[in-house]
Amino acid sequence: MNAPTSAKVLAPTVKLLINGQMVESQTTQWRDVVNPATQEVLARVPFATPQEVDAAVANAKQAFKTWKKTPIGARARIFLKLQQLIRENMKELAALLTAEQGKTLPDAEGDVFRGLEVVEHAANIGTLQLGELANNVANGVDTYSILQPLGVCAGITPFNFPAMIPLWMFPMAIATGNTFILKPSEQDPMVTMRLAELALEAGVPPGVLNVVHGGEDVVNAICDHPDIKAISFVGSTKVGTHVYNRASLAGKRVQCMMGAKNHAIVLPDANKEQTLNALAGAAFGAAGQRCMALSVAVLVGEAQKWIPDLVEKAKTLKVSGGTEPGTDVGPLVSCQALSRVEGLIDRGLAEGATLELDGRKPCIPGYSQGNFVGPTIFSGVQRGMSIYDQEIFGPVLCLVAAEDMDQAIEFINANPNGNGTAIFTQSGAAARKFQEDIDVGQVGINVPIPVPVPLFSFTGSRASKLGDLGPYGKQVVMFYTQTKTVTERWFDDDVTSHGVNTTISLK
């Protein structure tokens, strides 16, 4: 991450959102938002002051007093309007995202769309937030539960999905009756701010959604603030572990979706062309900058002979700026990311892996300053190699050989991460064995990136997740609410009393 610097370049400034108003930060520390394909400075983002963070939380706390009592139908209608506004502005949102993050325009639209699906789900909050009732649990006694909002909640989002992941967070938190503090990535905050503007236009009241920008100091302020009740985080394992530990010690609910090393098993009976297409798309799409990217393929038996075909498939992908027609792989998000990925490729070679396809320093006409790495493939990868043990977060696919399916499953289960996995096969028996025996939270069967739709929750596991409940779906309703159970009895005036009951039973 670039260190914050004093603002000197007269580029547009990214605003804070506090109490329904876009306000200029009073900070002296700023960071440039840079187009990763050209190094053009697009804007300057502030590192919010402690006073600005406190003001955002104070306004959210005040707004909660009335927002929690807003009828659930009124809350739902806001998200019906927001999904309409997002659809109407899809092209603008995608263009903003591509400029600051580097994704291709089609991939940027996919980023927005997967977030839009959660907004649509939030509009169904009237059904999702239903409690339960049991009638006559004892004589004249009923028991029911209600799901009540917690208060001020917060979300900390990463650079790689600057539209989707904010839309995972604030719609469900707000729909359940909470108010929200959003801290987007300082690397690409512009599309997030445009979504916040649309949320205000849709009718989100002042103080219900607030946005602050910054780095470690702002993250720590969110973790420590006594008035914030719950935090949702998506990002690196290092930062996520820090957030989880610090916020948990402060007594908050925390969910952290973190790093990954996603594997796919390829069996010899798989449909070859479909499998090669899936591997290339899942490994190299978004320049590999997905927590669900397919970064390891375990080739079983005769499938190991497919390596030349996979290399040829990867060579067909176009590497260029995200706005260029037909582009498949855009730039990495920053110069630092480029240096890290190139360094790990160097280490893969030094540690004995075979470089089947080298994507370093591609020649991209018109984009000589861009942060580009083309599709890169290593074979002969083993545990202990840096390219296997570390999350590369670049367009690098590691190939591992296995004699049979049991050996492949054992290899995957030995990895500490458990975000996602997949199998490619035409055997129902093999697929069922895989889904039963694999110890990973999200499983794809002939699906390379098994991110569930919002009817279900994101269910990464093991070292890829801290906290019991996942984002969106039914689980996130439980995360953002407190269950209150009420047991009640009403007496008629003419009912004879049964006397004093000194037991714990209901009669």
Q: How many CB atoms lie within 10 A of CB 475?
A: 18
Helix ranges, 414-461 (H): 428-437
Cα pseudo-dihedral 166, 172, 178, 181, rounded to 10: 0
Helix ranges, 250-306 (H): 272-284
Distance between CA atoms of residues 316 and 280, nearest Å: 10
Of residues 470, 473, 422, 471, the one with CA closest to residue 443: 422
Which strands, in side-by-side order, build the sheet including 354-357?
354-357, 376-379, 396-402, 294-300, 262-266, 420-424, 442-445
Of residues 337, 333, 445, 431, the one with CA closest to residue 391: 337
Q: Give helix 72-88 / helix 90-101 axis angle, nearest 10°.
A: 70
Q: Running DSSP on this structure, what letter comes out for residue 496?
A: P
DSSP lists the bridge partners of residue 396 as 376
Give yes or no for a contact between 427 and 267, defined as CB atoms under 8 angstroms apart. yes
Environment class of 11 (CB within 10 Å of its CB; exposed 0-12, middle 13-18, buried 19+): middle
Distance of CA 191 to the CA centre of its chain: 15
Give yes or no for a contact between 213 and 45, defined as CB atoms under 8 angstroms apart. yes
Specify whether 291 is catalytic.
Answer: yes
Distance between CA atoms of residues 90 and 88, nearest Å: 6
Give yes or no for a contact between 13 and 27, defined as CB atoms under 8 angstroms apart. no
Give yes or no for a contact between 218 and 246, defined as CB atoms under 8 angstroms apart. no
Beta strands in 235-305 (DSSP E): 253-257, 262-266, 294-300
Please tell me which residue in 153, 223, 291, 398 is annotated as part of the active site. Answer: 291
Q: How many CB atoms lie within 10 A of CB 365?
A: 7
Q: Which two tokens stand for residue 365?
A: 């006409």
Of residues 182, 421, 424, the one with CA closest to residue 300: 424
Distances (CA, A) of 485 to 9, 142, 253, 501: 56, 11, 20, 22
Phi, psi of 41, rounded to the nearest 5 degrees:
-80, 120
Q: Running DSSP on this structure, what letter comes out for residue 336?
A: H
Q: Return the active site residues.
A: 291
